[in-house]
């Protein structure tokens, strides 16, 4: 087991099945033409308190509609996810198909349909092959296992090149608990709630209301701070399920702070993994926006920077073209003043007090831009608010992958 010491918690293996009280699996049911795994099933036999965050896109997939109807809630027994078909823009037949899959999952898990949460990801507009999924669910149920987290994480992928998993163990006053999770996403990523698909589990005791509050705060600082291509999906879904199997509660403010920090760490690991695996990406950029008047101001500026195609192509080209970053910050409509603004690439100051320092054309800047991990800090010089975003470069391969997506 791999462990990395942190303040009050350490990383462990296992993904969504690292916490006690969860079983999972993934397999192929025939949706993907390649024969790759495309059906994932998670089971909490004892029932879980659950919360969810969903896309704010006005066009939503059928599973998003069903998930919104169900959460927050107690007594959730499962999550069923298919990849290869988004079941979005499919009207009433799509809703009926989603309900059929949920009902079939409920039958094999021995619970009511309302206790199963659905997700789908893939091509928009294709009808969901509910019969294929329903026929495969008994086999999935038979394969459920405590070590099935990786199979679950693999089965939800589309254009991703790697499975994205994280888990931690955290010490609370009442005992040790775990938080685990997995996510998928490599394109159509500019979350306006969470990310394409992510499932987080824990074995601490939470109410549904606590789960919702904790998840909202964690997503705000992680999943809502990433951008690959500026597109918010029709299917974005983030679930948190708490089995309570350990019998440990958040008994004090210290417990709540420790648990919240650990949850944020898991979400942050997954969010950054999504950006690092961006379609065609070769670089991960961490963008700090500091010195703001308010949280709203720094969020506006950061969003504009990480969403800019010109910034992202400069990252790909290894060009320390600081003007693109300052320009994006200016058109964010956040009221910045160039005379008070400082831009750093690593520790190298490129722009200060409204004028360039000349370092943008130096070898030091070129070396920093050539790295796989790039750190950019824009200090607005107007206050104390700060935030961090993550993005990737925009390469030739991003265009190729998306031009060929349906072929």
Query: Structure tokens of 156?
Result: 């939800």
d(CA 227, CA 263): 20
Nearest to 119 by CA among 165, 145, 153: 153
Q: At what angle do helices 130-143 and 91-109 cross, to 10 degrees?
A: 20
Would you say how long the chain is, in residues? 407
CB-facing half-sphere around the CA of 400: CA atoms within 13 A? 5
State the catalytic residue, choosing from 55, 121, 195, 377. 195
Any residues with CB less than 8 A from the CB of 211 and at least 6 apart, and which?
A: 49, 50, 51, 72, 240, 241, 242
Query: Structure tokens of 66?
Result: 């069903």
Q: Is 253 exposed, middle or buried (0-12, 13-18, 19+ CB in 10 A)?
A: exposed
The H helix count followed by the E strand count for the chain is: 11, 16
d(CA 307, CA 323): 15
137 phi and psi angles, rounded to 5 deg:
-65, -40
- Buried b / exposed e along 364-402 (16+ C-beta atoms within 10 A): ebeebbeeeebbbbbbbbbeebbbbbbbbbbbeebeebb
**Catalytic residue at 195?**
yes
CB-facing half-sphere around the CA of 122: CA atoms within 13 A? 26
Cβ(64)–Cβ(237) under 8 Å? yes
Query: What secondary structure letter does DSSP report for 354?
Result: T
d(CA 182, CA 4): 18
For residues 353, 354, 357, 360, the Cα torsion angle rounded to the nearest 10 degrees is 130
Catalytic residues: 195
């Amino acid at each position: 087991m791999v462990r990395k010491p942190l303040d009050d918690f350490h990383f462990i293996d296992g993904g969504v099945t690292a916490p006690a009280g969860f079983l999972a699996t993934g397999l192929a049911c025939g949706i993907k033409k390649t024969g790759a795994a495309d059906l994932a099933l998670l089971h909490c036999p004892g029932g879980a308190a659950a919360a969810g965050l969903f896309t704010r896109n006005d066009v939503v997939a059928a599973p998003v509609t069903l998930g919104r109807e169900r959460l927050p809630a107690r007594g959730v027994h499962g999550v069923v996810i298919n990849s290869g078909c988004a079941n979005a823009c499919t009207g009433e037949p799509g809703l009926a198909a989603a309900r059929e899959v949920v009902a079939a999952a409920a039958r094999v898990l021995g619970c009511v349909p309302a206790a199963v949460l659905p997700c789908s990801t893939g091509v928009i507009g294709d009808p969901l092959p509910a019969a294929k999924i329903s026929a495969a669910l008994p086999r999935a149920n038979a394969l459920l296992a405590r070590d099935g987290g990786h199979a679950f994480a693999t089965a939800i992928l589309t254009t991703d090149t790697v499975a994205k998993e994280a888990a931690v163990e955290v010490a609370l006053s009442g005992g040790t608990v775990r938080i685990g999770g997995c996510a998928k996403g490599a394109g159509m990523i500019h979350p306006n709630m969470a990310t394409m698909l992510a499932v987080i589990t824990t074995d601490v005791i939470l109410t549904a209301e606590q789960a919702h509050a904790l998840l909202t705060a964690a997503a705000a600082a992680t999943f809502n701070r990433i951008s690959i291509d500026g597109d918010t999906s029709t299917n974005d879904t983030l679930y948190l399920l708490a089995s309570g199997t350990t019998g440990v509660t958040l008994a004090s403010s210290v417990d709540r702070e420790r648990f919240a920090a650990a949850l944020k760490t898991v979400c942050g690991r997954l969010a950054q993994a999504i950006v690092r695996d961006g379609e065609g990406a070769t670089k991960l950029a961490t963008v700090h926006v500091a010195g703001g008047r308010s949280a709203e101001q720094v969020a506006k500026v950061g969003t504009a920077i990480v969403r800019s195609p010109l910034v992202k192509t400069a990252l790909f080209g290894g060009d320390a073209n600081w003007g693109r970053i300052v320009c994006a910050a200016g058109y964010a409509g956040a009221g910045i003043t160039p005379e008070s603004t400082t831009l750093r690439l690593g520790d190298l100051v490129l722009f200060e007090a409204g004028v360039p320092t000349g370092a943008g054309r130096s070898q030091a800047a070129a070396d920093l831009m050539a790295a796989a991990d790039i750190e950019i800090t824009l200090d607005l010089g107007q206050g104390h608010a700060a935030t961090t975003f993550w993005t990737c470069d925009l390469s030739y391969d991003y265009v190729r992958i998306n031009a060929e997506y349906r072929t």
